């Protein structure tokens, strides 16, 4: 899975003439700067602490409120990004364990009536920073925009499953940031009773988890989830996990010579290891099947995630707020592109082997039965390498993104009295995207680009791969997406009146209406129902029935051929 989209936008690019501006929050006075964006004034406050530095004894602890300070505090540059590997130098930001900072962009610090949107970055819970994203294009449209940092990888998600290190520290950081925003955002002109949280990729899984967490209740009022769901196997602890977070934590500890029989001994030792060493050691720890190695866990000491996400959703223990959720049409195409020769297609034997390998890792107890079911469901054009490649893209995209998002939407909307949910499928592809055409709209071309108005910003100021020459069609599409987003922030409805030639109708568990988002968007119903049924009903039924072939070395060597033969026989009989 791609690590997420990072856009580094240098704020000074927009500035005509910067001057100091001041605001007083509960902890003291901040000195920010006034900039001009689209000929409008915008006050920007960067590197604002929302918690005490999580260092020393505070490592592997829940965050605590920040201390007060005397005199104006400089808030004209970003705080450090949280420790991570492979931090690209073009992001122009430092890295430090003292990293719990947020950034505020506002048109007004007078009357607290503006809606607020808080953006939670993605990056597989391993990488990223709020400073990689500049939401100025939304902020000048009278929304108070906030981007945040949270602890990542080992430092954010190590868990011994007891009081020594309960886990979910990164998620508790997000809760602390939302709490700080509730208590202070009125000073920036924001309405603390009208907060939208938005995330992309792992950030999207995060906002989905906030829908479930009792600790987040009341801290937000609308949700935008782009390409990630709490019900995805990769996003959080699952009842099917067969490697415990505690085992993973002790494996990590052994990598840095922190051995011991008790959690307390091991965690005390880990607090003495440098942040760089502990994060780099985390790269050597193999992830459990289905899961990201360092990601949210079940824990009741803090109570952020007191049960498995599916169990909480099934019990209806979710915030009843408007939701905008969706996926890209070809999320996993870049993963398929990593296969040698994929530009010429994928042949049936390669796809068969990939499915078997996938099933053996993701469903090790049910490998044989699941493999055959997967081949039958997706290997339907076994003589056409290009069609097989498209099926492989759909296969991975459905598993990691589409099916969990559809399932979450169905479960949320099936309960009476629920607020509206709006589902999208992004198909718009930038005209000058340098990736091969067959890759379509991959995970790295997320709705986030258009939501933040990247095509409209003009040349300069942003880095990484966004060197495309955006066309007028791209810019117009971005305007449509921004207008829909602003409407949702304001009204909980992306199209109270027609936008981009369409009225976006709500998704329900009965008709499953969704917006096919492209240059000419259109409403559709029931997104790929057979494939969604396969992942959300058929596979769980196989697991629940525990239909397992015998595990044996001889079967292991023969199963890929068996799977293909059985699938082809089944297809010939259809």
277 three-class SS: helix
Determine the distance from the C-alpha atom of residue 162 to the mean position of all C-alpha atoms in its chain, rounded to a whole number.
Answer: 27
Q: Work out the pLDDT band at 556, boundaries 50, 70, 90.
A: very low
Give the pLDDT band (50/70/90) at residue 308: very high
Element (H, E) at 471: none
Residues of the chain above pLDDT 70, percent: 88
Q: Output 430 or 420, whichever has higher pLDDT.
A: 420
Highest mean pLDDT among 217-226, 367-376, 451-460: 217-226
pLDDT at 193 over 70: yes
- Predicted pLDDT at 552: 31
Q: Picking from 84-88, 367-371, 396-400, which range would have the lowest pLDDT averaged per residue?
A: 84-88
> CA 200, CA 203: separation in Å to the nearest integer?
5
Residue by residue, DSSP assigns 512-539 as: -EEEEESTT-EEEESSSHHHHHIIIIIH
**Of 434 and 553, more confident:** 434
pLDDT tens digits, 475-501: 999 999 999 999 999 999 999 999 999
Q: Is the pLDDT of residue 502 over 80?
A: yes
Inform me whether the pLDDT recorded for 196 exceeds 80.
yes
| 542, two tokens | 């196989």
Predicted confidence band of residue 435 (pLDDT cuts 50, 70, 90): confident
Pick the more confident residue, 485 or 38: 485
Comparing 104-108, 164-168, 401-405, the range with the smallest average pLDDT is 104-108
**Residue 115 CA to its chain's centroid (Å):** 22
Pairing between β-strand 101-106 and β-strand 222-226 as defined by DSSP bridges: unpaired
Average pLDDT over residues 441-454: 90
Q: What is the pLDDT of residue 503?
A: 97
Per-residue confidence (pLDDT) for residue 470, from 0 to 100: 85
Percent pLDDT > 90 in the chain is 75
Report whether pLDDT(564) > 70.
no
pLDDT of 567 strictly over 50: no
Structural tokens at position 273: 């290891």
Q: Please tell me the distance from the alpha carbon of residue 525 to that of residue 541, in angstroms, as a whole number.
A: 25
522: which strand partners?
516
Separation CA 471–CA 474 (nearest Å)? 5
CA distance linking residue 245 with residue 297, whole number of Å: 8
pTM: 0.91
Report residue 22: phi and psi, to 5°: -130, 145
Structure tokens at 566: 């059985």
- pLDDT at residue 460 above 70? no
Protein fold of 11-328: Rossmann fold (3.40.50)
Give buried/exposed letters for 314-329 (b at 16+ CB in 10 A, else e): eeeebbebbbbbbbbb
**How far is residue 445 CA from its own chain's centroid?**
14
Q: How far apart are CA 37 and CA 501, in angstroms?
A: 28
In whole angstroms, how far apart are CA 517 and each of 301, 327, 336?
Answer: 42, 10, 23
The whole-number pLDDT of residue 239 equals 77
Predicted confidence at residue 90, as pLDDT, reads 57
DSSP string, 11-39: GGGG-SS-EEEEEEETTEEEEEEEEEETT
Among the listed residues 541, 546, 548, 540, the one whose alpha carbon sits nearest the alpha carbon of residue 231: 540
Average pLDDT over residues 9-18: 42
Q: Where along the chain do its domains lie?
A: 11-328
Per the structure block, which two tokens stand in for 132?
Answer: 């990689």
Is the predicted pLDDT of residue 15 greater than 90, yes or no? no
Mean pLDDT, residues 433-458 taken together? 88
Q: How confident is the model at residue 18 (pLDDT cuts 50, 70, 90)?
A: low
CB 160 within 8 A of CB 263: yes
More confident residue, 436 or 196: 196
Write down the number of H helices and E strands in the chain: 18, 13
Is pLDDT at 467 greater than 60 in this prediction?
Answer: no
pLDDT band at 381 (very low <50, low <70, confident <90, very high): confident
- Cβ neighbours, 10 Å, residue 515: 25
pLDDT (mean) for 430-442: 87
Contact of 382 with 347, CB cutoff 8 Å: no
Would the pLDDT of 382 be above 90?
no
Q: Are strands 28-37 and 73-74 parallel, antiparallel or unpaired?
A: parallel
Which pLDDT does position 468 carry in this prediction? 64
pLDDT of 327: 97
How far is Cα 488 from Cα 196, in angstroms, rounded to an integer?
A: 9
Q: Minimum mean pLDDT among 227-241, 409-423, 470-484: which range?
A: 227-241
Kindly report the average pLDDT of the chain as a whole number: 88
Beta strands in 107-180, from DSSP E residues, in sequence order: 114-120, 144-148
Lowest mean pLDDT among 323-332, 539-548, 553-562: 553-562
Q: Which residues pair with 436 in a beta bridge?
A: none
Q: Is the alpha carbon torsion for 463, 466, 472, 477 positive or negative?
A: negative
The pLDDT tens digits of the residues spanning 89-143 come to 656 778 999 999 999 999 977 778 999 999 999 999 999 999 988 899 999 999 9
What H or E segment, with its residue span, contains residue 423? strand 421-426
What is the band of 463 on the pLDDT scale with cuts at 50, 70, 90? very low
> Which tokens sit at 62?
């829940």
């Amino acid at each position: 899975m791609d690590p997420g989209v990072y856009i580094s936008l240098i704020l000074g690019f927009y500035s005509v003439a910067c001057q100091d501006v001041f605001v007083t929050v509960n902890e003291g006075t901040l000195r920010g700067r006034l900039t001009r964006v689209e000929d409008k004034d915008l006050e920007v406050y960067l590197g604002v602490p929302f918690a005490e530095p999580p260092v020393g004894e505070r490592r592997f602890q829940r965050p605590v409120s920040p201390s007060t300070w005397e005199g104006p505090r400089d808030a004209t540059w970003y705080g450090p990004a949280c420790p991570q590997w492979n931090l690209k130098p073009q992001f122009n930001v430092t890295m430090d364990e003292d990293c719990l900072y947020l950034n505020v962009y506002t048109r007004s610090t007078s009357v607290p009536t503006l809606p607020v949107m808080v953006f939670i970055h993605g990056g597989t819970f391993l990488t990223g920073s709020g400073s990689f994203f500049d939401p100025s294009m939304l902020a000048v449209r009278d929304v108070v925009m906030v981007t945040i940092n949270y602890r990542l990888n080992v430092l954010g998600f190590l868990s011994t499953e007891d009081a020594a290190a309960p886990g979910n520290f990164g998620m508790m950081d997000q809760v602390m940031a939302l709490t700080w925003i509730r208590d202070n955002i009125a000073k920036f002109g924001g309405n603390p009773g009208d907060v939208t949280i938005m995330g992309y990729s792992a950030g999207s899984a995060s906002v989905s988890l906030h829908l479930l967490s009792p600790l987040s209740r009341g801290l937000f009022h609308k949700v935008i989830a782009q390409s990630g769901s709490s019900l995805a196997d990769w996003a959080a602890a699952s009842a099917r996990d067969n490697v415990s977070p505690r085992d993973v934590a002790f494996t990590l500890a052994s990598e840095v010579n922190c051995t011991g029989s008790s959690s307390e001994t091991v965690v005390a030792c880990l607090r003495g290891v440098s942040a760089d060493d502990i994060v780099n050691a985390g790269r050597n720890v193999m992830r459990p099947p289905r899961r990201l190695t360092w990601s949210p866990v079940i824990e009741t000491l803090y109570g952020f995630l007191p049960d498995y996400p599916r169990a909480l959703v099934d019990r209806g223990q979710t915030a009843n707020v408007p939701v905008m959720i969706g996926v890209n049409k070809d999320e996993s195409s870049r993963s398929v592109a990593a296969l040698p020769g994929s530009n010429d297609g994928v042949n049936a034997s390669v796809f068969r082997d990939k499915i078997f390998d996938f099933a053996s890792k993701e469903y090790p107890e049910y490998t044989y039965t699941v493999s055959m079911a997967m081949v039958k469901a997706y290997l339907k054009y076994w003589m056409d390498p290009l069609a097989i490649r498209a099926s492989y893209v759909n296969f991975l995209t459905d598993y990691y993104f589409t099916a969990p998002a559809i399932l979450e939407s169905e479960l949320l909307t099936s309960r009476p009295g629920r607020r509206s949910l709006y589902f999208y499928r992004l198909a718009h592809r930038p005209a000058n995207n340098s990736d091969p055409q067959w890759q379509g709209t991959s995970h790295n071309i997320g709705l986030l680009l258009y939501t933040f108005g990247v095509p409209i910003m003009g040349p300069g100021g942003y880095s990484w791969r966004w060197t495309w020459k955006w066309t007028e069609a791209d810019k117009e599409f971005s305007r449509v997406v921004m207008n829909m987003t602003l409407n949702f922030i304001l009204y909980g409805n992306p199209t109270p009146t027609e936008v981009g030639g369409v009225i976006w109708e709500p998704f329900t568990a009965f008709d499953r209406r969704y917006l096919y988002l492209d240059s000419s968007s259109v409403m559709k119903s029931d997104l790929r129902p057979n494939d969604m049924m396969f992942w959300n009903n058929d596979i769980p039924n196989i697991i629940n029935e525990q239909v397992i072939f015998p595990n044996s070395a001889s079967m292991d060597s023969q199963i890929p051929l068996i799977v293909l033969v059985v699938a082809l026989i089944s297809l010939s009989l259809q």
